[in-house]
Amino acid sequence: MTKDLTCFIGLKAFIRNDKDLLILHNPLMGLDLPGGKIQENELDLKRALQREVREETNLSISVGAPFFTWFFTVPTDSGHRSAGKKIFSVGYQCTYISDKVKLSSEHDWYKWINKDNYRNYLKNSSFAPALTAYFSLKQDSK
């Protein structure tokens, strides 16, 4: 029996604005971060992530170094357009540059969270290890 090793590559932006981090809420999936899957022929991953962030939040960001990777399968019963797909995700440290958050139809709310309150948003989230890793990083003070 051959295992299906096909997976998509997802990019997620951990957008820092001073000491706060932007999280989103997807009504089908729960907690989310700006980003998405790369498209065919997108070879510049940082530009792909900037495109996804602009589409989902209207924000301009600078994309820094990747700092965390994880693998997950979107639940088949989620109703999400990616249901059943395997996704290898790469989390990038990003910095807010400009514009106001204006959500696309994919998300219904957003919050800026910080090291003191992020644990309140981890319940049943596939992002829990990534958020814990993010808030464990040494952040330069602004």
pTM given for the model: 0.88
Q: Is residue 86 part of a domain?
A: yes
Q: Is residue 109 part of a domain?
A: yes
Which among 18, 12, 21, 1 is positioned nearest to 119, based on CA atoms? 21
pLDDT digits (tens, 9 = 90+) for 24-69: 999 988 899 999 988 889 999 999 999 999 999 999 999 999 999 9
The answer to whether residues 134 and 119 touch, using CB atoms and an 8 Å cutoff, is: no
pLDDT digits (tens, 9 = 90+) for 79-118: 666 667 788 899 999 999 999 999 999 999 999 999 999 9
The CATH number for 39's domain is 3.90.79.10
Which among 39, 48, 57, 139 is positioned nearest to 97, based on CA atoms? 57
Q: Is residue 141 part of a domain?
A: no
- Rg value, the chain, Cα: 15
Q: Is residue 2 part of a domain?
A: no
Range(s) of the domain holding residue 85 = 8-136
> Which range, of 18-27, 48-57, 69-78, averages the lowest pLDDT?
69-78
Which among 119, 99, 89, 85 is positioned nearest to 14, based on CA atoms? 89
Q: Is residue 28 part of a domain?
A: yes
Count up the domains in the chain and report the number.
1
